Structure 1
Amino acid sequence: MKIREMGERAIIDRISNSLPHNAVLSAGEDDCAVMDLRGDYLLLTIDMLHKSTDFPDKMTPWQIGWMSVAVNLSDIAAMGGYPIAIVTALGLPADTEISFVDEIIEGMNFCAQIFNTNIVGGDTDEHDELTAVCTVLGCVKKEELLRRSGAQIGDLVCVTGELGTAEAGLQAMSMNIPECVEKILTKKLFEPQPRVNEGIALARSGVVTSMMDISDGLALSLYDLGKSSNKGFLINEDKIPILDETRIVSPDLDLPLYGGGDFELLLTVRPDGIEKAKKVCNLTTIGKVTSGDILIKRNGVISKIEARGHEHFIR
């Protein structure tokens, strides 16, 4: 069997199941691996980004650096933690201009410092295409750790920010739309904002029952969260937050449901705690936790959400 026949999630499960499970949460079980440090938990996450699949031609090297760090910080945010250190590795073609590398590092460093952490080490090697790998270490108090599991029937489903924006930015670059609209959308795509501060505040609120980041689209994230909690969801179409600029690119729900790259937070909140959660973080309630399938209500009609979105290896 070829990996393109399996898809990213099946490959991660296969690798995870072949490894010893000697951590609180091991590779593949959540947004980060979790190690016990007695008083706190250590969070570890890693992401690999490539020129051909992750960095559109219109991205500046500074934005490449920012994105490489930001997508990892989003995993730390999803667990309610704060970042403490970053190590990075760059695979570079031999003819890369040194000024290009300098700008990548500037973008990485700026993103790290914005979120109160630092790049403390790394490596470089020669590659056929630009490749950036970042590993972020984070920390969270044991009682504040948020996992993908934990959702209870009747909990409210919430998200931060707006959805479908990054995918709209990707599509906008090949469309004839106003430049001001394209600029708004591509900035969201090129410079994702990890919800680190929001994640910390939500973890400390004590009313969140499960959480993860939306990196591969709302639909796949709902399926991941539902699998971990062994629950279903009923989502209200008219409650999903979407920018007006995203609707210019596509008026239907494909972008927010199935487009990747938003890096917002998807979470479940106890009904009696929703006001408290909204006081510490700008949230939109989009549905509720159920015991059944992953469903959406559109114009009074309930249907199943397809289990698809952004996934490596699948074409």
Structure 2
Amino acid sequence: MGVRLFVELAEIIQRVRSYRGVVRKAPIESIARILMPEHHGNLLAATGEDSAAIRHGKEVLLLAADGIIQDLVDKDPRWAGYCSVLVNANDIAAMGGIPLAAVNVLSCGDADVRSRLVNGMRDACDKFGVPMVGGHLHPDTSYAAVDVAMLGRTTPSRLVLSSGAKVGDSVVFAMDLDGRFTPGIPYSWDTTSRKSPEDVQSRLGVMHKFAPMMTAGKDISNPGCLGTLGMLLEASSKGAHVEVDQIPMPAREDPLQWLLAYQGCGFVVTCPAKSAGRLCSGFESAGLTAAVCGRAKPGSRLELDNGDETGVLFDFRIDRLGCRIPQKI
């Protein structure tokens, strides 16, 4: 079922461009320019990537960190704690990695809220098979916040960067359609809480398994699927042409809500066109629904087709999503 059946392309473009998960990415670049090193020994990649990649002997260490948005912490502390682990596990997976361990910074003066945050983290650690090995507690703050950092590993041949897309590559969306929107959290597409740890970890491991076939990849996060593709293209200094009605979508869900959703397990990747069919089959073998939805092209524009409509979602000569690399590393 295509998005074209429900929504005009102009509305899709307006909603994505104005969506909070997209707009709040813009300040990242100004921070990165100050903090990111120009050169640092074994650092392979940093700005614009889902995790920092650090050479360590014959392996690559991956280091990710995420803080959970205040709205979610206030509305559902347990789910916020759960998501603090989930988002990091997805970041490590998106780089072709396997998560090893996590640490947290928990700020909360309310014992009941703190307990719900901790129980959510505990449930997610069990679900994703990632031990929480340490952290820091502020037990007397006037606010509640949870932040998690995660360490993972991969090998040079399985390292997937956001910045590797090449002209002519196929754009592939791979999503777990077996889920539901979290009650009260309209853009949280939950595909993990009701699955077994084995199923969750198998789906997440698909990026590591098929990483050598990919040129670039990201997990579909706060900006939604099209916003996340925009981040990948910005990091790669490429444009793309995408057919919106080819993006996998579950039946009976609102298409705009879906395009803006944070995926419990979803990825957008690029690969050589000749490999796209085999890569989609690989995703499908792990329980994800995958489709070729477009091509990477020269230039700076992410162009969308929706039936007989055509429009420009982003032009990276003007637009910023926080993934432009300010230094060559």
TM-score band by shorter chain is 0.7 to 0.9
Aligned match of 1:224: 231
| Residues 1:73 and 2:89 aligned together | yes
Q: In structure 2, which of residues 273, 276, 290 is the aligned counterpart of residue 274 of structure 1?
A: 276
**Which of 78, 84, 89 is matched with 2:105 structurally?**
89
- Tell me which moved more, 4-13 or 207-216: 4-13
Residue of structure 2 in register with 1:213 after alignment: 219
Instruction: Show CA shifts across 1:235-257 (max 9, x none).
Output: 1021122334432xxx5x4x444
**1:122 alignment partner in structure 2:** 135
For residues 113 and 190 of structure 1, do their structure 2 counterparts lie closer, same or farther at Cα, with a shift above 3 Å needed? closer
Instruction: Report if aligned partners of 1:12, 1:28 keep a CA contact under 8 Å in 2.
Output: no
1:161 alignment counterpart: 175
Secondary structure at 2:164's aligned position in 1? coil
Distance (whole Å) between structure 2 residues aligned to residue 228 and residue 186 of structure 1: 25
Cα deviation, residue 69, structure 1: 0.7
Structure 1 residue 201 corresponds to structure 2 residue 219: no
CA contact (8 A) 2:25 2:320 kept: no
1:219–1:306 Cα contact (<8 Å) kept: no
Identity of aligned residues (%): 23
Preserved CA contact (<8 Å) 1:226 1:232: yes
3-state DSSP of counterpart to 1:304: strand
Structure 2 match to 1:262:
263
Matched with 2:293 is 286
- Tell me, yes or no, if structure 1 residue 21 matches structure 2 residue 39: yes
Q: CA deviation at 1:153?
A: 2.1
Deviation at 1:5, TM superposition (A): 10
Q: Distance in 2 between matches of 1:287 and 1:147?
A: 19
Q: How big is each residue's C-alpha offset from its partner over 1:35-62, in whole Å with a ceiling of 9 and x where there is no partner?
A: 1111101100111124x333352x2x33
Asked if the contact 2:68/2:84 (under 8 Å) is kept, the reply is: yes
Judge conservation of contact 2:93–2:208 (CA < 8 Å) in 1: no
1:302 equivalenced with 2:320 (yes/no): no
* 1:2-81 aligned within 5 A: 7-17=26-36, 19-22=37-40, 23-50=42-69, 52-55=70-73, 57=75, 59=76, 61-81=77-97
SS class of match (1:129) = coil
Q: Indicate how the Cα distance of structure 1 residues 78 and 5 shifts in structure 2: closer, same or farther if over 3 A, else same.
A: closer
Measured in 1, the distance between the counterparts of 2:24 and 2:220 equals 24
Amino acid at match of 1:109: R
Residues 105 and 5 of structure 1, relative CA distance in 2, 3 Å threshold = closer
* RMSD (Å) for aligned C-alpha atoms: 3.4
Task: Report which stretch shifted further, 233-242 or 36-45.
Answer: 233-242
Partner of 1:246, secondary structure, is: coil
Letter in 2 for 1:272: K
- Cα pair 1:295 1:303 within 8 Å, conserved: yes
Partner of 1:236: 243
1:68 match: secondary structure: helix
Measure, in 2, the Cα distance between the counterparts of 1:113 and 1:266. Answer: 26
Q: Which residue identity does 1:72 align to in structure 2?
A: N
CA contact (8 A) 2:86 2:128 kept: no
Deviations 1:70-110 (A, max 9, x none): 111111011010110100110002xx134x43332232122
Note if contact 1:158-1:286 (Cα within 8 Å) is conserved in structure 2: yes
The answer to whether the 8 Å contact 2:48/2:163 transfers is no
Name the aligned partner's letter for residue 134 of structure 1: V
> Does 1:246 pair with 2:246?
no
Query: How does the TM-score come out when normalised to structure 2?
Result: 0.74
